[in-house]
A and B are shown apart, each in its own frame.
Chain A
Amino acid sequence: MNVLIGHYNYWIVIFLMMAGLYVVIAQGNLVKKIVGLNIFQASVFILFISMRKVEGGTAPIVTQGVSLYSNPLPHVLILTAIVVGVATTALALALVVRINEAYRSVEEDEIHEQDQSF
């Protein structure tokens, strides 16, 4: 029981990760795949942040009268990873726009058909 309730954050992470991966693999629409990738990356962010949240700790900025802080390092790492995720999403969407102009479609099977007839 402790595994189920005490580690509920890890269960959420696993659920989101699998959902994201499923969308990436199973969806045919290129834009929906990008959404799946975002869900996958978001699950990793939650993993990092929930790992290091100290119960009762406050934001890691030195103030008077507070002695228990949350660990600031994972937050910085996730901030960087979020920026990387934003850049990746922007790049993927730019590619989809150009693919749409070149192939007149954003469905994976239609694009494969057009390529086979090369």
Chain B
Amino acid sequence: MPLPRLIPCLDVAGGRVVKGVSFVGLRDVGDPVELAQYYSDGGADELVFLDITATPEESATMTSVVARVADVLAIPFTVGGGVRSVDDAKRIIESGADRVSINSAALADPSLITAIANRFGSQAVVVAIDAGDGVVHTHGGRVATTTATVPWAREAAERGAGEILLTSIQQDGRRNGYDLALTARVRDAVSIPVIASGGAGSARHVADALRVTDAALVASIVHEDPTGLAGLRKEIEELGVKLRPLSEHYG
């Protein structure tokens, strides 16, 4: 097994990083490339950028953010939001992203998962699931569907997804811990990696998640002080979870 991954997530709107609580009440927290640099220096194992506005007009803005990040940083990263076709995925991967994350578009047309996987490999396709009350939600968590979370995760994996990004809508932004039970259920249902997301408020929360699954997304907890990531990593390791050893290049 690869080492557990700590993944800062940057929600992007109009080329800026923003953060809200349970997907609403957005505020500006910084420049994507600058924040990405802090996280990279602090030992982030990879990054996720989610274009949370994801209107067609925004896609050019997002592509340029992706290219700027790729040109500045030698770090793996995933880009989600607004990926609705193989061409969208191609545009983002050719701009330097390692993976695309698809959500509503995969629900609307699950064959999109297979189409992107066939072109770029399964490792390039993350299926993001916003889960609440046992069902998948769309539109940034606002609209409940009738699709049950665990079977959908299983179907996504069978169709060629290389990873599941599982966000608990109830926990997101509230900083009182990940939904570990939900994470474990999805982990047990698939044989691809699962990233836990939503609810990190302390090193202990992250350590608990990394004992359950392969990777943990962090947002609010690091956005307040992006230079604090190195400290967070240290605390997680002190709680007994072994992370990637950083070479002498890191502060």
Partners in one complex: no
Which chain A residues have a beta carbon within 8 Å of chain B's beta carbons? none
Which chain B residues have a beta carbon within 8 Å of chain A's beta carbons? none
